[in-house]
Amino acid sequence: MAPITTLHYLVVAAALFILGVIGVLTRRNVVIVLMSIELILNAVNLNLVAFSRIWGLHGQVFAIFVITDAAAEAAVGLGILIAFFRNKETVNMDEVDLLKW
């Protein structure tokens, strides 16, 4: 069995990223879209961690930052979502168009 190389990680991360993007673009539920964004971020984390095998710990540090950022983003995103829900009683992505002209 061939050893697991960086390329494998990158493939998996790319797959996760694609899944995330597809989730973001296609799902209509905002909660799921947010979760898909987490998926994208984690794909990036996986890339960072994978590359830290080659170039040192910087990637892992960045991954920690991204996790922190993801937590903050989730908090803000969900907060906005709750406020939005209170106004429109829906979490349908297509109806999030308050800033439309």
Partner 1 sequence: MFFLSHIWLIPLFPAFGAAIMFFFGRKLQKSTVNAVCVGVVVVAFLFSCVAFSQYLGYAHDNPGKPYQTMVYTWLGTDTGGMNFVKHDGTSAAFQADVGFLLDPLSGIWLLFVTGVGMLIHIYSTGYMAHEGGYYRFFGYLNLFMFSMLTLILANNYVLMFVGWEGVGLCSYLLIGFYFHRHSASTAANKAFIVNRIGDAGFLLGMFTIAWYFGSLRFTDVNHLARSGHFAIGDPIITAATLLLFVGACGKSAQLPLYVWLPDAMEGPTPVSALIHAATMVTAGVYMVARSNALFVLAPTSMKTVAIVGALTAIFAASIGLVQNDIKRVLAYSTVSQLGYMFLALGVGAFTAGVFHVFTHAFFKALLFLGSGSVIHAMSGEQDMRNMGDLHKRIPITHWTMFIATFAIAGIPPFAGFFSKDEILWQTWSSEHGAYIHLWVIGYVTALMTAFYMFRLMFLTFHGRARMSHEVEHHIHESPKSMTVPLIILALCSICAGWLGWPHSLGGSDHFAKFLNPVFSNEAEVFRAGGKSSQLAAGEKEEEHTSPIEYGLMFLSVGAGVVGWGMAWRAYRNADKGYAEPIAAAAPPVYDLLYNKYYVDEAYDYAFTGRRKVGDVRLGVMGLGEASSWFDSHVIDGTVNGAGWMTRLAGTLSSWWDKWIIDGLCVRGPAYLMLLLSYPIKLLQWGLVQWYALVMVFGLVGFVAYYAWR
Contact with partner 1 (CB under 8 A) among 6, 26, 68, 90: 26
The count of residues interacting with partner 1 (CB under 8 A) is: 12
Contact track, partner 1, 37-76, x by CB under 8 A: ----------------------------------------
Our finding on whether 25 is near partner 1 (CB under 8 A) is yes
For residues 55 and 101, which CB has a smaller minimum distance to partner 1 in the complex?
Answer: 101
Phi then psi for residue 2, to 5 deg, are: -65, 145
Our finding on whether 94 is near partner 1 (CB under 8 A) is yes
The answer to whether the beta carbons of residues 54 and 14 sit under 8 Å apart is: no
Our finding on whether 90 is near partner 1 (CB under 8 A) is no
Tokens representing 40 are 């994208």
Q: In whole angstroms, give the CA distance from residue 39 to residue 94.
A: 21
The answer to whether the beta carbons of residues 6 and 50 sit under 8 Å apart is: yes
Greatest Cα pair distance, the chain, in angstroms, is 58
The contact set with partner 1 (CB under 8 A) reads 21, 24-26, 33, 93-94, 96-97, 99-101
